[in-house]
Amino acid sequence: MTDAVRCSPGDWVEVERVLLEVAERAVGLPADTAAQPLRVWVKGYARSEAMIGDTIEVETMTGRVVSGHLSAISPGYTHTFGTPPAEIVHIGRDLRARVAAYRAAAAAVAGGMASPEAGE
């Protein structure tokens, strides 16, 4: 997302609009959802110059023309991997040790049975 507030024709932008006002929404929604309008965001190439918040038309990747309020210019993504939670970081070390211990014990049993001392 750039900090630009003005787009030029052809820029990749995002527009926002209300698809259904509260009064137009489906019946039977949970109260929290019913209290909000249904909003929609679509990205496309700006068809004119505009400032953030202006009504503008965009042409989407499928060639549809959609109008809405300009909500972002060069909209990008910022989701991440997060940071390692303390509840998770020990798992790898613990489990590798457990598998190794299990195999060592199994090998000892198998080795013990096959050893000459055990056999004679």
The site for other proteins (CB under 8 A) is made up of 19-20, 23-26, 29-30, 32-33, 35-44, 60-64, 77, 79-88, 91-92, 94-96, 98-99, 101-103
Rg of the chain on CA atoms, in Å: 30
71 vs 55: CA distance, rounded Å: 10
Measured from the CB atom, is 5 or 34 closer to other proteins? 34
Distance (Å, rounded) from C-alpha 44 to C-alpha 66? 8
Distance of closest approach, residue 119 Cβ to other proteins, in angstroms: 23
What length is written for the chain? 120
Which of residues 4 and 66 has its CB atom nearest to other proteins in the complex?
Answer: 66
DSSP assigned state of 10: T
CB 2 to other proteins: min, Å: 17
